[in-house]
Every structure is written in C-alpha cells, then in structure tokens.
C-alpha cells in the first residue's frame, strides 16, 4: 500500500522518556536519522524534545514535531493557552502536527468546541497540520461533517500485529485518512513472536523491525519508542525491509484484538 501522508512514516515515541536520559535518547535517535518526534502535553517530555532539537543543531525545517492537547485542556478557555504553553516548552514557534489526545469523556466538553479550537490553532499558525488520537469511526464521521473531509491528516491509535483494528483501518482507507500506529511494538513484546522472528532472520533484522515494516506496508505511520541506541537503530532498519505479500498475509493473521491501552476515558472502540 502506498504511503501518502505528509507525516514522516517512521517516528520516535517519547512517552515516559523524561530527564537527561530522555534527552540523550532523542539525540541518539536524531543522529540515527529519525526526524519525526511524538510528544504530548501529558507526557512531560515537551521540554526534552525542545532541548534535544536545540542541541542537535538540525534545521527546524528538517524536523516533524507532533504534540497533543490533553483532555484536561479541551475547554474553549483552556485550549489555546495550553498550545501556547506547549510551544514555549518546546521552544518552537509552531509544531508540525497538533492532535486532540483523547476525545472528551461523556462530552464533558462539547465536541464542536474543541474541534473548532483545533482548527483555530491551525489558522493562527500554532500548528501546520491537525489531527486526532483515539477517535473511533463515529467521532471521525462527526469531525469530517464539521470540518470537511480533508481537514485532519491522521488518527493516532493503538495498532500493532496483535491489534490491527480492521474495522477502523477499512473505514480510514475508504476516507483517505492515514493512521499513526502507537505502541506499535506492543511494548516490545512483538520481539518474542516466533513468526516475526522467523521472517526477521530471513531479512537480517529483528522481529520488532518486521512488525514496524508490516505496519508501514499497511500504510500506517509508526512511532516506536526505545531508550536504547541499539534498539533505536534496529527499529530504524525497518525502513529498508521489503516484505513479500505472503509474509504480509501471515503477519496479518496474528491479529487477535489485543488492545493494551484502554483507560476509563476511552470512547466506544470499533475493534
């Protein structure tokens, strides 16, 4: 499947990567060649991203930085100020992508309010692109009805070989909306998978790289995280893997609807 999205297909997750170690990890990733970094207001890693980007000396235009508005900042009176604070923490004038991290639980904040605030942030130039995260089909439908079919560039959701989200993926493909697979390694557990290991051996890479190559072949962006330089390199190697149709089919059969992230604030999932 051809990848058609302005988002660099392989990015770096930063959840939990706080402190100096977190900065070193991002710097190592930038040295390896990662250019897309995923953070969020709720991760406490925006400052680390800003620091690493500054220390790297890389031109701003070469980088793709995503942050997400926390569900506690969705109200009209909080939204814009929270984005301005993110930019200050990141040391940036603009992010490349701003996401709604979670839809408001039980419509505590009206849907229209925070979706319109998201568009306003883009109109003000606080972000180049906008998208959502953890949105099921019903909310994507609502968002497209409100904002038009092309306003959003991605829906960032949990997708990995054990949770392939077939209903959501089919819907998003039909609408030309790309998905970003979070927790794409199922927290590293895919590395122990016998089938992925078998395919990995044939390609001279790790099982994790095969999982990432599979998700990219499915047309998704991926944002794996690692605190180890070696694993960052191993994961980056996924970009060079060309899987056969037969292998893609075999990995497709690993899906077992194993959702890992399912907090109380979750919407009604499709898969």
Ligand X SMILES: NC(=O)c1ccc[n+]([C@@H]2O[C@H](COP(=O)([O-])OP(=O)(O)OC[C@H]3O[C@@H](n4cnc5c(N)ncnc54)[C@H](OP(=O)(O)O)[C@@H]3O)[C@@H](O)[C@H]2O)c1
Name which position in 231, 238, 254, 271 contacts ligand X (CB under 6 A).
Answer: 231
The single residue listed with the structure tokens 């995923």 is 38
- Where is the binding site for substrate, in residues? 101
Q: Which is nearer to ligand X, 97 or 121 (CB)?
A: 97
Residue 261 lies near ligand X (rule: CB under 6 A): yes
Name which position in 34, 137, 206, 221 contacts ligand X (CB under 6 A).
Answer: 206
H or E, element range at 180: strand 178-182
Name which position in 103, 136, 161, 224 contacts ligand X (CB under 6 A).
Answer: 224
Residue 164 lies near ligand X (rule: CB under 6 A): no
Number of residues that bind ligand X (CB under 6 A): 28
Residue 186: active-site member: no
Q: Which is nearer to ligand X, 79 or 186 (CB)?
A: 186
Nearest-angstrom CA–CA distance, 268 and 39: 24
Name which position in 76, 167, 187, 240 contacts ligand X (CB under 6 A).
Answer: 187
Q: In what side-by-side order are the strands of the sheet with 221-222?
A: 12-13, 36-38, 64-69, 95-100, 127-133, 152-158, 178-182, 221-222
List % helix, strand, coil for the chain (3-state, nearest 5): 50, 15, 35
Closest approach of Cβ 235 to ligand X, in Å?
A: 5
Candidate segments 57-65, 139-147, 176-184, 248-256, binder of ligand X by CB under 6 A: 176-184
Closest approach of Cβ 225 to ligand X, in Å?
A: 3
Residue 134 lies near ligand X (rule: CB under 6 A): yes
Residue 171 lies near ligand X (rule: CB under 6 A): no
Catalytic residue among 34, 43, 114, 182: 43
Nearest-angstrom CA–CA distance, 152 and 143: 8
Residue 186 lies near ligand X (rule: CB under 6 A): yes
Q: Which is nearer to ligand X, 223 or 246 (CB)?
A: 223
Residue 64 lies near ligand X (rule: CB under 6 A): no
Please answer whether residues 99 and 66 qualify as being in contact, where contact means their C-beta atoms are separated by less than 8 angstroms: yes
Name which position in 199, 234, 238, 247 contacts ligand X (CB under 6 A).
Answer: 234
Beta bridge partners of 69: 100
DSSP 11: -
> What are phi and psi for residue 126, nearest 5 degrees?
-75, -20
DSSP 74-140: -SHHHHHHHHHHHHHHHT-S-EEEEEESSPPGGGSS-HHHHHHHHHHHHHTTSEEEEEEES--HHHH
> Residue numbers of the site for ligand X (CB under 6 A)?
13-15, 38, 101, 133-134, 156, 182-188, 191, 206, 208, 223-228, 231, 234-235, 261
């Amino acid at each position: 499947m051809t990848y058609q999205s302005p988002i660099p297909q392989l990015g770096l997750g930063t959840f939990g990567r706080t402190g100096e170690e977190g900065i070193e990890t991002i710097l190592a990733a930038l040295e390896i060649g990662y250019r897309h970094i995923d953070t969020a207001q709720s991760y406490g890693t925006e400052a680390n991203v800003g620091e690493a980007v500054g220390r790297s000396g890389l031109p701003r235009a070469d980088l793709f930085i995503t942050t997400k508005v926390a569900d506690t900042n969705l109200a009209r009176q909080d939204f814009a100020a929270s984005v301005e604070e993110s930019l200050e923490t990141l040391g940036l004038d603009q992010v490349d992508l701003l996401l709604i991290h979670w839809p408001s639980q039980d419509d505590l904040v009206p849907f229209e309010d925070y979706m319109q605030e998201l568009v306003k942030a883009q109109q003000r130039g606080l972000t180049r692109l906008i998208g959502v995260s953890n949105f099921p089909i019903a909310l994507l439908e609502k968002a497209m009805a409100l904002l038009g079919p092309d306003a959003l560039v991605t829906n960032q959701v949990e997708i990995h070989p054990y949770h392939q989200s077939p209903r959501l993926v089919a819907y998003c493909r039909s609408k030309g909306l790309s998905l970003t697979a979070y927790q794409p390694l199922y927290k590293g557990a895919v590395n122990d998978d016998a089938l992925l290991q078998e395919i990995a051996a044939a390609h001279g890479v790790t099982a994790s790289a095969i999982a990432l190559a599979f998700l990219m072949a499915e047309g998704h962006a991926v944002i794996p995280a690692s605190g180890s330089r070696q694993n960052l390199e191993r994961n980056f190697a996924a970009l060079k893997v060309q899987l056969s149709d037969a292998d893609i089919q075999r990995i497709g059969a690993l899906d077992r609807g194993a959702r890992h992230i399912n907090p109380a604030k979750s919407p009604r999932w499709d898969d």
